[in-house]
Structure 1
Amino acid sequence: MGVSERKEKEKEIRRNDIIDAAEKVFFSKGYDLATMDDVAKTAEFSKRTIYVYFNSKEQIYFEIMIRGYKLLISMIDEYVSNSKDDGITKVRKLGEVFFCFSKHHPNYFYAIMNYENGELDFSSGIPDKSREQCYELGEIIFQYLSDFLEQGIREKIIREDIDIKSTAILLWSFTVGIFTTLKKKKNYIVEVHHKSVDELLEVAFNMLTKTIEK
Structure 2
Amino acid sequence: MGIRERKERERERRRQQIIVAAKRVFSEKGFNRSTMEDIAKEAELSPGTLYLYFKNKDELYASLSLRILQYLIIRLEHVNGNHDLNPVQKVDALNEAMFDVYEFDPLIIINMAHLQSSETLKNLSDELLGEIEALSRKSLGAIARIFQEGIDQGVFIDEHPIALADIFWSMFSGVVLWESSKSIINDNKNYLKETLKIAFEIFARGLKKV
Structure 2: 5+ residue stretches without partners: none
Once residues 197 and 42 of structure 1 are traced to their aligned partners in structure 2, the CA distance between those partners, rounded to angstroms, is 30
- Matched position secondary structure for 1:14: helix
- State the distance in 1 between where 2:18 and 2:36 align: 10
Q: Give the Å deviation of 1:41.
A: 0.5
Q: Which string of whole-angstrom CA distances, capped at 9 and with x for unpartnered residues, describes residues 58-89 of structure 1?
A: 12122211112112222333444445222233
Q: Which residue of 1 aligns with 2:150?
A: 152
RMSD: 2.6
CA distance, structure 1, for counterparts of residue 98 and residue 139 of structure 2? 10
Indicate the larger mover: 80-89 or 128-137: 80-89
* Deviates most, 35-44 or 71-80: 71-80
* TM-aligned CA deviation for residue 185 of structure 1: 5.7
The number of equivalent residue pairs is 205
Residue 131 of structure 1 corresponds to which residue in structure 2? Answer: 129
Q: Which residue of 1 aligns with 2:31?
A: 31
1:170 alignment partner in structure 2: 167
Letter in 1 for 2:96: E
The alpha-carbon deviation at position 97 of structure 1 amounts to 1.4
Could you tell me which residue of structure 1 aligns to residue 11 of structure 2?
11
The reply on whether 1:97 has 2:97 as its aligned counterpart is yes
Indicate the structure (1 or 2) with the bigger Cα radius of gyration: 1
Matched residue, 2:202: 207
Quick check: 1:114 aligned with 2:109?
A: no
In the alignment, structure 1 segments of 5+ residues that lack a partner are: none
Contact 1:88–1:148 (Cα < 8 Å) also in 2: no
What percent of counterpart residues are identical?
Answer: 27
CA distance in 1, matches of 2:145, 2:69: 18
The one-letter code matched in structure 2 to 1:140 is: K
Give the direction of change, closer, same or farther, for the CA distance of 1:123–1:183 in structure 2 (3 Å limit).
closer
Kept after mapping to 1: 8 A contact 2:35/2:57: yes
> What amino acid sits opposite 1:211 in the alignment?
G
Cα contact 2:54–2:60 (8 A) shared by 1: yes
CA distance in 1, matches of 2:194, 2:24: 33
Cα distance in 1, alignment partners of residues 62 and 182 from structure 2: 29
**Cα–Cα, structure 1 residues 11 and 29, in superposed 2: closer, same or farther, change >3 Å?**
same
TM-score w.r.t. length of structure 2: 0.84
Tell whether the 8 Å contact from 1:19 to 1:64 is kept in structure 2 after alignment.
yes
